[in-house]
Structure 1
Amino acid sequence: MSNSDRIDVFPSRMAQTLMKARLKGAQTGRNLLKKKADALSMRFRQILKKIVDTKTLMGEVMREAAFSLAEAKFTAGDFSPMVIQNVTKAQVKVKAKKDNVAGVTLPVFEQYSEGGDTYELTGLARGGEQLARLKKNYAKAVELLIELASLQTSFVALDEAIKITNRRVNAIEYVIIPRIERTLSYIISELDEREREEFYRLKKVQEKKKQLKAKAELARAKSNQPSPLEAPSLLDANQDDDLLFN
C-alpha cells in the first residue's frame, strides 16, 4: 500500500481513535448529502412536470390571445397608437422572492399590479367586448410567462445543485471513506505487529532469566554453597569454634 492510498499518520491508539471519529463523520456526511440529493431530485421532478404542463397551457393561451387580438383589430381597427400614447408606466410588475429547498436557494418570481388601467377607455366607440377579452387573455399569458420564468430559473439552479451534491457524495463514498478505511487498516496492522514484537521480546526476556537462574543454581550446587536466599538453621549440629582471648 502506497502512502497516497492512505493518510500519512503515525500509528498509535490516539491516531486510531481519531481515524474512527473521522470515518464516522464522513459516513454521516455522506448519508446527509444523499438525503439532500434525494430531496432536490424530488423537487426537480416536480418542477419539470410543472414546466411541461405550463408550456402546454401557454401554447393554448397564446393561441387564444392571438385570435382575440385579430378579432379586436378587425372590430375596433388599429388601436395600437392609442394604447402606446396612454401608457406612461408599467402596470404589471414582477418581484423576486426566495425559496429554500434542502439548503439550496431558489428564486421565485411573483406578479403584482400597480396603478390603474391607463387604456380603460379604449374600445368605447366599438369593439369594447373584444378588447376586454383581449386584455384578459394577454393578462393570463403574462402571468403564465412569469410563472414559467420562475420555474425554469429554479430548474437550472436545482440541476446545478444536484450535480454538485452528487459529486460530493461520490467523492466521500469512493475517495475519502476508502482512504480513511485503508488508514485504519494500516494503523491496526502496525499496532498488532508491535504487540507481537512486545510479546516476543517479553518471552525471550523470561527465557533468558530462566537460563541465568538455572546456571546460578547449578553453580551453587557444584560448590555446595547454600543459597544466599536461605539462612543457616540454628538447629544444625555444626557449631562454630570457640574464640579464645589471651
Structure 2
Amino acid sequence: MAEDVKPTRKNLMEIEDRIELSERGHDTLEQKRDGLIMEFMDILDQAQDVRSGLSEDYERAQHKINMARAMEGDVAVRGAAAALKEYPEITTQSKNIMGVVVPQIESSRVRKSLDQRGYGLLGSSARIDEAADAYEELLESIILAAEVETAMKKMLHEIETTKRRVNALEFKVLPDLYEAEEYIEQKLEEQEREEIFRMKKIKAKKEEEEKAEKEEAEKAAAKEPGTVTAD
C-alpha cells in the first residue's frame, strides 16, 4: 500500500486523519466487543438456568402425564386434551442490547382455568389437572428458553462480527496506514535533504561566480591607463 501513495504533504495529512479516525474506531469497537461479551455472559448464565429449569419441567410433565394415563386411562387423557377451547397466544416484540436487537417473546393464555381447558370440573380429575398444570408450566419454560436462546445466538453473532472488525483494524488497516505514514515521512525527508543539498550547491556556485566576477573586475581595473603600479 505504501508505495502506491504519492509522497506529498497533503497525502500525509490525509493519512494522519485516517489513522486518528481508525484508532478511535478501533477503541470504540473494542469497548463494544467487551460490553457485548459481558452481556453475553449474563445471558449465558440465564440460558443455563433456563435449560436446567426446562429439563426439570419436562421431566415433571412427563411424570404427570404418565401418572394421569395410568390412573385415568389414555382415552380420558386424550379426551381432556381434545377439549381445549383456547390456545396460547404468542407475540414478539424486540429490545435493544448494546445495539443488538433481540426478540422479547410474550405469551398469554398459557395458564388456564378448568373452563378454559374445556373439560370442566366434572369431566376432570386431579391427575389430569396436575398433568395440565405441568404442561402449561413446561410451555412457559419453552417460550422463555426460545427467547433466551435466540438472544444468545444474536449476541454471539454480533460479538464475532465486532471481533472481525477489531482485528481488521488492528492487524490490517492500521498497520497499512502506519506503513504509508512512515513511507511518506521518509520520502519527504529525503526530498527535503535533496532540496537542502541542491540549494547549497546553487549557493556555492553563485558564490564562486560572484568571486570570479569580482576577480575579473579587479584585473580589469588594474589594466586601465593611469593606474600606478609599485616599482
Alignment-derived partner of residue 198 in structure 1: 195
Alignment-derived partner of residue 64 in structure 1: 60
Alignment-derived partner of residue 73 in structure 1: 69
Q: CA contact under 8 A between 1:76 and 1:123: conserved in structure 2? A: no
Q: How many residues align?
A: 220
**What one-letter code is carried by the residue in structure 2 that aligns with 1:136?**
D
Alignment-derived partner of residue 243 in structure 1: none
Runs of 5+ consecutive residues of structure 2 not aligned to the other structure: 224-231
Alignment-derived partner of residue 91 in structure 2: 95
Normalising by structure 2, we get a TM-score of: 0.85
**Structure 2 CA distance for aligned equivalents of residues 143 and 126 of structure 1:** 22
Q: Over the residues paired in the alignment, what is the CA RMSD in angstroms?
A: 2.3
Alignment-derived partner of residue 157 in structure 2: 160
Q: CA contact under 8 A between 1:83 and 1:122: conserved in structure 2? A: no
**What one-letter code is carried by the residue in structure 1 that aligns with 2:55?**
G
1:2-151 to 2 correspondences below 5 Å: 5-6=1-2, 8-77=4-73, 78-90=75-87, 92-113=88-109, 117-124=115-122, 127=125, 129-151=126-148
**Structure 2 CA distance for aligned equivalents of residues 58 and 126 of structure 1:** 26
Deviation, structure 1 residue 65: 2.0
**Structure 2 CA distance for aligned equivalents of residues 50 and 173 of structure 1:** 33
**Structure 2 CA distance for aligned equivalents of residues 208 and 53 of structure 1:** 88
**What one-letter code is carried by the residue in structure 1 that aligns with 2:101?**
T
Q: CA contact under 8 A between 2:8 and 2:184: conserved in structure 1? A: yes
Query: Are residues 184 and 172 of structure 1, via their aligned partners in 2, closer, same or farther at CA, if it must alter by over 3 Å?
Result: same
Runs of 5+ consecutive residues of structure 1 not aligned to the other structure: 227-246
**Structure 2 CA distance for aligned equivalents of residues 142 and 156 of structure 1:** 21
Normalising by structure 1, we get a TM-score of: 0.80
SS in 1 for 2:89: strand
Query: Are residues 122 and 220 of structure 1, via their aligned partners in 2, closer, same or farther at CA, if it must alter by over 3 Å?
Result: same
**What one-letter code is carried by the residue in structure 2 that aligns with 1:53?**
D
Deviation digits for residues 132-181 of structure 1, max 9, x if unmatched?
Answer: 33232221111110111111112222222211111111111000000001
Query: Are residues 72 and 81 of structure 1, via their aligned partners in 2, closer, same or farther at CA, if it must alter by over 3 Å?
Result: closer
**Structure 2 CA distance for aligned equivalents of residues 55 and 79 of structure 1:** 31
**What one-letter code is carried by the residue in structure 2 that aligns with 1:56?**
S
Deviating above 6 A after TM superposition, structure 1's stretches of 4 or more consecutive aligned residues are none
Alignment-derived partner of residue 228 in structure 2: none
Bigger CA drift: 104-113 or 212-221?
104-113
**Structure 2 CA distance for aligned equivalents of residues 25 and 170 of structure 1:** 16
Deviation, structure 1 residue 126: 5.8
SS in 2 for 1:87: coil
Q: CA contact under 8 A between 1:26 and 1:177: conserved in structure 2? A: yes
Percent identity between the two aligned chains: 25
**Structure 2 CA distance for aligned equivalents of residues 110 and 198 of structure 1:** 74
Alignment-derived partner of residue 218 in structure 2: 221
Bigger CA drift: 117-126 or 140-149?
117-126
Structure exhibiting the larger radius of gyration computed from Cα positions:
1
